[in-house]
Amino acid sequence: MFTDRSTLDLNGSWSFAWSLTPAEPTTIAQLEQSGLRALDCQVPGNFELDLQKHGLIEEPFHGMNITGLRQYEGAHVWYFRTFDLPPHPGTTPVLVLEGVDCFAEVYLNGQHIGSCANMLIAHTLPLTGARAEGNELLIHIRPAVEEARKFDYPPGLNALGSNYDAIHVRKAPHMYGWDIMPRAVSAGLWRPVRIEYLPDERIETLFLDTMSCSAREARLTLHFRARLGSEVANKYELEITGSCGDSTFHQKTVVLFEAGRAFVEISNPRLWWPRNRGPQSLYNVTVVLLKNGQPIDRAQFRHGIRSLELRRTSTTDNTGNGEFCFLVNGEKVFIHGSNWVPADAYHSRDAERIPKILELVLDSGCNMLRCWGGNVYEPDCFFDFCDEHGILIWQDFAMACGYYPKDDAFCKVLETEARAVVRRLRQHPSLALWAGDNECDQAYYWIKGASPEANRLTREVLPRVLQAEDPRRPYLPSSPYIDAEALKADESRLPENHLWGPRDYFKSPFYEQSLAHFASEMGYHGCPSPESIKKFISPAKLWPPGNDEWLLHATSPVPGVNLYDYRIELMSNQIREMFGRVPDNLDDFAFQSQCVQAEAKKFFIELFRGAKWRRTGLLWWNLMDGWPQFSDAVVDYYFNKKLAYHFIRRVQQPVLVMFRESRGWNHDLVVCNDTRDTLDLRYTVRDLAHDKIIAEGQCAAAPDAVTLAQEVPYTRSEARFLVIEWSSAQGKGLNHYLSGNPPFDPTHYRQWISQVYGH
């Protein structure tokens, strides 16, 4: 019979205490005797949110409040509770801490049972000295800023802005302050806590890997590690079954050693496809460990059968002699997607926010998310959702914009982290790519004479882990990746690039003439609505912009230190460029800023779609804010959608009729068809300013291609708002093109979009 693999949930009601001076209580009684005040709290949680709950601090995200929390960065924090531990024969109970932020000592009944020093991975500790009733669990979290002082900082290290105290510490990099996130160093038990009863003989790890697949057959390999008894007379077997609809498989293999492989062949398998390319077929897999013919342990998971390839070159040129393209099941996939940034500055709130954000991912038409390297590694439920809905995941390891330590000690820390992350996530078919970091190669590139090829972390440590744990998935050492060949070329010749540049007019040569085949970052600022701004900016600071609260929420995370103070002026300049002047009131400023952002994001997507397959995808920055701010996000922290969200939702649909930019006196009206079918379309183009049809017709749109529908005369002499409507077997569609050169009349523009879209 199966040995009980039950768990004991330790989430919910806990207590906490804190002190700005060190103390060493190891029991609840010692903590109380020390005079520290115990307060109730919830786990998962964050220290600052616990303080807010008890009225000890104000709402952190309002006004300048978060800057006052620097005084708590040196706090020692203790979390504690009691629990009973019912016995389960044939098992060993262990404590699982899914997320401890960050340096912690763990005590059970006064006895030290383990230490933690990495916020980003789970920790499993033995329950040495546990008893059936009345156990005391106490976790002492030491201040990360104090721990950071114990390391050396030679000139060979470098960090973004004010983030030097982050460079040695394995916390989410953004927590020390970023251009999109505040400084919120924090502490806490930010993910669930539980006790697991592990069978004495058990399945330890499993990984079902697709070796090859086609519509006719698939070959899978199950890699396993078990914990078995030492009695030679025992016979152990693994039984593997899987089903997806009427497609099934069954395999039984003798276990000769605790580690090994089993092979599975499937005829006519159901393949997993990205969104809009086919079904997201998932096999329900059960693996049973048998001892002398009797089942003793079992594991269940889902598996998507698919192949995935990244074709890339080191450089490209103005003739397109390069490549960066994803292929799934042998077919090229054009990428529509966004960068995924922190769901919240305080990560204990991620769980409640992630499902709502993922619904926006679906609604906006994305088929890929890039999990940015300044963030945490998202929970299993995030990847489960993406498996089910065909959202490909580009996963950065948690390093960004800096020179990280290369000594043996840090390499060992990163290797342990990477191994844990890879083992947790590798079973997901949505996981398309591992990337070593965000912009660390560029950080080397910006300092002349430094070669990113010398980065041990991304050239040695991570490849070694991936070769051992997940060898078949593509790996990109950095984003953008600058190898030895690219180092000799101009940065503009990278086939995959982050297209930020001057952030001037969105149709400037920097954007239009970019050589990149694939843009993994590309954004444009847009002001939140006045409704949202009033929730985080004090009434006296609402207008004019540029005051300390606007700058902090821009985000320039350290007042008095000019890190990203240009962002508000940037937003004003973008309004001035498009509409000729900057409004003198908040309502018009916010609206016009959103109009500029919406047109810019729409243009970026159409620029890439209209050049398919010379261009192969765009991951725009970004979908959602992780705190209240003025940013490139198209949905603000309070889930209010900016105008850009609605524009993006339309231009990321599988079928799009759009104008390319003019060639002389003509515009190309083209059909971008991401489906596998030839589509017959009827279309009209109406000049809204003059209320007349300027083009109409029908065309057969080639599958998975861009088809020229018609050349339309073009003039730059006046502003026109061209409304494009079409119908096909895919349904009806609506788009527009803003014709002419800026500045545009904001009154006319407001009337046009209101008339067409109702916004």
Confidence tier at 3 by pLDDT (50, 70, 90) = low
Identify the pLDDT of residue 571: 95
Q: What is the mean pLDDT of residues 255-269?
A: 95
Going by DSSP bridges, is the β-strand pair 324-328/308-312 parallel, antiparallel, or unpaired? antiparallel
Handedness of CA 34, 40, 42, 45 (dihedral sign): negative
> Residue 560 and residue 104: Cα distance in Å, rounded?
32
Q: What is the pLDDT of residues 89-144, one digit of tens each?
A: 999 999 999 999 999 999 999 999 999 999 999 999 999 999 999 999 999 999 99
Confidence tier at 696 by pLDDT (50, 70, 90) = very high
Whether the CB-CB separation of 487 and 506 falls below 8 Å is answered with no
Distances (CA, A) of 426 to 206, 389, 471: 10, 17, 10
Whether the CB-CB separation of 373 and 160 falls below 8 Å is answered with no
Strands (E), 2-69: 7-9, 12-19, 39-43
Pick from 164, 184, 207, 208: nearest CA to 66: 184
Q: Collapsing DSSP states into helix, strand and coil, what is residue 298?
A: strand
Q: 214 vs 690, which has greater pLDDT? A: 214
Walk across the sheet containing 123-126 and list its strands: 7-9, 193-199, 91-97, 123-126
Distances (CA, A) of 243 to 212, 222, 296, 388, 442: 18, 15, 22, 16, 45
Pick from 607, 686, 590, 567: nearest CA to 643: 590
Whether the CB-CB separation of 177 and 162 falls below 8 Å is answered with yes
Distances (CA, A) of 511 to 445, 506, 522, 524, 612: 21, 7, 9, 12, 16
Identify the pLDDT of residue 713: 87
> Residue 74 and residue 142: Cα distance in Å, rounded?
8
pLDDT at 1 over 60: no
| Residues ≥6 apart with Cβ < 8 Å to 99 | 44, 119, 122, 189, 190, 191, 192, 347, 376
* Angle formed by the axes of helices 408-425 and 462-469, nearest 10°: 30
Encoded tokens for 752: 């046009």
Q: 716 vs 576, which has greater pLDDT? A: 576
Confidence tier at 479 by pLDDT (50, 70, 90) = very high
Q: What is the pLDDT of residues 330-384, one digit of tens each?
A: 999 999 999 999 999 999 999 999 999 999 999 999 999 999 999 999 999 999 9
> Residue 429 and residue 302: Cα distance in Å, rounded?
9
Identify the pLDDT of residue 114: 98
> Residue 192 and residue 619: Cα distance in Å, rounded?
31
pLDDT at 416 over 70: yes
Range with the poorest average pLDDT among 80-84, 172-176, 661-665, 755-759: 661-665
Confidence tier at 2 by pLDDT (50, 70, 90) = low
pLDDT at 645 over 70: yes
For the chain, the helix, strand and coil percentages under 3-state DSSP, each to the nearest 5: 25, 35, 40
Identify the pLDDT of residue 597: 98
Percentage above 70 pLDDT, the chain: 99
| Residues ≥6 apart with Cβ < 8 Å to 488 | none
Handedness of CA 604, 610, 615, 618 (dihedral sign): positive
pLDDT at 232 over 80: no
Name beta bridge partners: 723.
686, 736
Average pLDDT, the chain: 95
Q: What is the mean pLDDT of residues 257-275?
A: 97
Exposure pattern of 669-691 as b/e (b: 16+ CB <10 Å)? bbbbbbbeeebebebebbebbee
Q: What is the mean pLDDT of residues 595-623?
A: 97
pLDDT at 160 over 80: no
For the chain, which domains are there? Answer: 7-198 (2.60.120.260), 201-303 (2.60.40.10), 334-651 (3.20.20.80), 655-757 (2.60.40)
Pick from 668, 700, 701: nearest CA to 685: 668
Encoded tokens for 412: 């060992």
Whether the CB-CB separation of 91 and 4 falls below 8 Å is answered with yes
pLDDT at 162 over 70: no
pTM value is: 0.97
Whether the CB-CB separation of 484 and 453 falls below 8 Å is answered with yes
Q: 562 vs 19, which has greater pLDDT? A: 19
Whether the CB-CB separation of 165 and 152 falls below 8 Å is answered with no
Identify the pLDDT of residue 161: 64
pLDDT at 657 over 90: yes
Q: DSSP code of 453?
A: G
Number of C-beta neighbours around residue 161 at 10 A: 20
Q: What is the pLDDT of residues 701-742, one digit of tens each?
A: 999 999 999 999 887 778 899 999 999 999 999 999 999 999
> Residue 558 and residue 506: Cα distance in Å, rounded?
29
Encoded tokens for 637: 């922290």
